[in-house]
Every structure is written in structure tokens, then in C-alpha cells.
Structure 1
Amino acid sequence: MLDDLDRRLLRHWQADATLSPGELADLCAISAGKAARRIARMQEAGIVQGVSAVIDWAALGYSVEVSLRVTLDKTVARAFDEFLAAAREVPEVTEIQTFLGRVDVRLSIIARDMGDYQSIYRDRILTLPHIAEVEALMQIAQIKAVEALPL
């Protein structure tokens, strides 16, 4: 699937996504054309799904992050689909994960302050369909957050 050259290209690109194919080529001691072809092949295969900017939400005034563990009413046939569709529409939801077990879904929510969070929780979260139970975990500090894979 991936050879050593692909992994080298990805390691450098993960470290600095602003690198051009030519710059990646220089770092990997290959031609720019070969680097560009390798990158295009990995993009077409879905290995590289995009390049994005990482935004510091706190720098934009979002000082509260809450993780909500949601248990859904599983007596409703389309509870998962309807809940997930509605949760995707809440702008302050930055991540949605589903699980097997007692907790069905985890939502990551950002808010400007506790008053803002309280409004989001009452007006947008508690109105989501098919919620049986919600447990909130307030984030105190982020110790590690890594997007890069160990290639």
C-alpha cells in the first residue's frame, strides 16, 4: 500500500502542510514531478483526504469546551440517524463520535463562556431528538491532541 517514500512524504507533509510538492521533493531527495505524482496518487486513493488549517478556538474567544456523553432512546427505530443529522446542524458541535456500549454518542461542544454554554445546552442540545440521558464532562486542560500518524 504505502512504501518508504510515501511514508517519508507524508511525515514531512504532516509536520508542515504548507510545503509544496517541490519542497517535499527536496526533503525526500526526489524530483518534484515524482513527489507531485505520489501525492496525487495518495489523494486519489483517499489516504490524504485534504489539507486544513488548525484554528486555536481559545484565541477566537471560545474558552469553554465540554464533552457530552449522550445515551439515545433506542426504542425509536431511526433514533441514531435523526439525532446525528440534527447534531451536525449545531455550529458549536466540533466533533461527533458514536460508540457501542452504554454511551451511544459523544459530542464536543465549544462555547465562549459558561453563560454561552448554558444557552447552547438548553436551546440546541436538549432539543435534539431521542435523547434519553446526557452526561457533561467539562474540559479543564488539553494535555495532548495529535492529528499526525506515526508513519
Structure 2
Amino acid sequence: MDLDDTDRRLLRVLQKQGRISNAELSERVNLSPSACHRRVARLERAGVIRDYVALLDPRKMARPTTVFVEITLSGQADEVLEAFEKAVARVPDVLECHLMAGTADYLLKVVAEDSEDFARIHRQYLTRLPGVTRMQSSFALRTVFKTTALPV
């Protein structure tokens, strides 16, 4: 889908303020409310806007600890990858799972209350994932920068 400057302005605002009213959004991007509504609906239908979500504060949800876990599997066969991906998707504390190129096969982003809680997650879930031969965990000391907004 070709995005023009107006679409890009709409997307920049919506990525930062997903609950903005159509009236306020139309004012911010210099469109009439009806034209603004049509454009947003078109972006939604095209799948450019995939969803609207509430972003929760991990500290207020008692999950201030972020751990990145590198996973190496026993092999690259489709069955091994599929079994791992199906199982890891059921782990409630895993926020992200990425198939990687490089030394690890997967990179997980895990949230926990603290190191003891991560030990529980590790013991209860991660060690039981199929096909895993190696795991390396790195604790984030501080989040310097974080955004959900893609460049548009």
C-alpha cells in the first residue's frame, strides 16, 4: 500500500495516542473529520493498522524485570522449530519470541517480578521447551529507550 504524507501523519499520531478522538486526530493532521475517518478505516482494512492496545506499565503490574533469553535448538528441522514455537507461545511470561540468524536460534523477551521469579519461570517453563540444547539469559539493568512506534 502506498502511503502519502497525510497517511504518515495519521500513523505517527495514532502510534503515540491510539485513543485520540477522530475530531482531535483530524485537527492534528489538518483533515476534515469525515476524511480522517475514511483514511483511518482504509488503513485498518489494508492491515497497516493492525490493532489498538493498552500498554501496561510493567512496574505497576509487578513485572519490572526484563530478561533476554537466547535459545539454541538441537536442530533446524521444521518439526523441531514448530514444536518449539508452539510450546513457547504458551509461556505467559514470554512477551516476544524471535527466530534469529546468528549464534542463537531464538531470542525471547521475558518479564518477571525479580530474579527469583525468573528462576521459577526458567524451571517451570523454559527448561521444558522442546528441542532446547542451550539457553543463555541476560538481565536488563535499565531500559534506556523503548518505543512501539515504527518509523513512518
Structure 1 and Structure 2 fold alike (TM over 0.5)? yes
2:59 aligned counterpart, secondary structure? helix
Please, what TM-score do these two structures have when normalized by structure 2? 0.93
2:37 aligned counterpart, secondary structure? helix
Aligned pairs (5 A) from 1:8-87: 8-74=9-75, 77-87=78-88
**2:112 alignment counterpart:** 111
Unaligned runs of 5+ in 1: none
Unaligned runs of 5+ in 2: none
The CA RMSD measured in Å over matched residues stands at: 1.3
1:143 aligns with 2:144: yes
1:123 aligns with 2:137: no
Q: For 1:57 and 1:31, how far apart are their aligned partners in 2?
A: 37
**2:95 alignment counterpart:** 94
Q: For 1:104 and 1:145, how far apart are their aligned partners in 2?
A: 24
Identity in percent:
29
Q: How far off is 1:13 after superposition?
A: 1.6
Q: Which runs of 4+ in 1 moved over 2 A?
A: none
2:72 aligned counterpart, secondary structure? strand
Cα shift readout 1:102-147 (whole Å, capped 9, x = no counterpart): 2110111111122211111011100000001111111101111111
Q: Is the 8 Å Cα contact of residues 64 and 139 (structure 1) preserved in structure 2?
A: yes
Please, what TM-score do these two structures have when normalized by structure 1? 0.94
